[in-house]
Every structure is written in structure tokens, then in C-alpha cells.
Amino acid sequence: MSRFTHDTLRFEPNEDECRTEQLMPRFSRCLKKNTKCVYAVLTGSYYYCMHPNHLDFKVNSVLSKYPYE
């Protein structure tokens, strides 16, 4: 009997469809809410993008200055 885990059901994203909203210089929120993406992390009611190139998918920026960088 095989058993599926959450990680075995996740896939690489289609980067042409990815959209993020930058929250901090190293941190973005996933706007597509793709639950099967290997880089999506659900916390509360938001999905966060942990993709190494998350800024390439940026739609707009919430913050204009980054005091903690």
C-alpha cells in the first residue's frame, strides 16, 4: 500500500502564470494561490512565495522603502 504525502502532490510552477506582491525585499505574497506549487507556503489566509526568483513575478510593491535591509 502506497501513501501519498503533501510533498509528492506538489509541482514546479508555470512561471509564465506566476504573480507575486512584494512585501519585503526577500519576501513576496503569491497572488495566484497555487496550492500545488512547491514554493507556496500557506500561513493563515495568505500564500507566500519562496521561489528564488520571486521578484521576477512581481506585480506591484506594497512598500516603497525597506528600513530593515
- Residue 68: predicted pLDDT: 44
20 domain-assigned: yes
2 domain-assigned: no
Cell match 514554493: residue?
39
- Reply yes or no on whether the pLDDT at 47 is more than 60: yes
- Residue range 20-49: average pLDDT? 88
pTM of the shown model: 0.68
14 domain-assigned: yes
Question: Which domain does 48 fall in, by range?
Answer: 9-57
Number of domains the chain contains = 1
